[in-house]
A and B are shown apart, each in its own frame.
Chain A
Amino acid sequence: DVKVTQSSRYLVKRTGEKVFLECVQDMDHENMFWYRQDPGLGLRLIYFSYDVKMKEKGDIPEGYSVSREKKERFSLILESASTNQTSMYLCASSRNGRNYGYTFGSGTRLTVV
């Protein structure tokens, strides 16, 4: 069963901590995405990557960075966590071409206190 796996389901961190959210996909997809989901705002794209070591900013990249050293793994990094980064974070992957094969992870609910 193909899937996107996020390392943590729930996470509580303190303000100022450096936070790593990990995402692994086993479908050999070229593209990987990080979204955050907030009530009333829906899903918003933070960063995406279309190849190893390649990344592009999404709509709300401020306060975040990403790393893609291997094709299957895409990490979201909160350099210095703040309370306004409390949110649900969703990872997704897709392949190139018209039939994207878009697949989401189960999400990580991050609370910054």
Chain B
Amino acid sequence: KNEVEQSPQNLTAQEGEFITINCSYSVGISALHWLQQHPGGGIVSLFMLSSGKKKHGRLIATINIQEKHSSLHITASHPRDSAVYICAVPLNAGGTSYGKLTFGQGTILTVHP
């Protein structure tokens, strides 16, 4: 069974700071997801990546398949970035998983003005 570990669990930053959230997993995977959940809100998919790097606005996600590690970076953080960030990987990687995901525990990010 895949295991997904995120760090840190809680992160507090001042507006404008560069933020990094890390995700490590225990077995080979085909892709990794980064998700965002605002307080009281639903979950939004930020990225799905299987190699290299993806960028969307101030958000950057990287993955190192060999090291089984991914990072989510936020440049020039803003209070509206305050949310829970969750990484997720598909179960039974390489086989027929139907897209079932195993989730990390999430990182609670708070950005102060």
Contacts and interface: CB of A to CB of B under 8 A. Distances in A.
Interface residues of B, number: 22
Nearest to B91: A45
Interface of A: 30-31, 33, 40, 42-43, 45, 48, 50, 58, 90, 92, 94-96, 98-100, 102-107
A8 B106 CA distance: 24
Contacts of B31: 98, 100
Interface stretch (B13-21, B35-43, B53-61, B65-73): B35-43
A102 B48 contact: yes
Interface of B: 30-31, 33, 35, 41-45, 48, 50, 86, 88, 90, 98-101, 103-106
A105 B42 contact: yes
Contacts of B50: 98
A90 B42 CA distance: 8
Contacts of B106: 42
A96 B96 CA distance: 9
A88 to B, nearest CB: 9
A98 B42 CA distance: 24
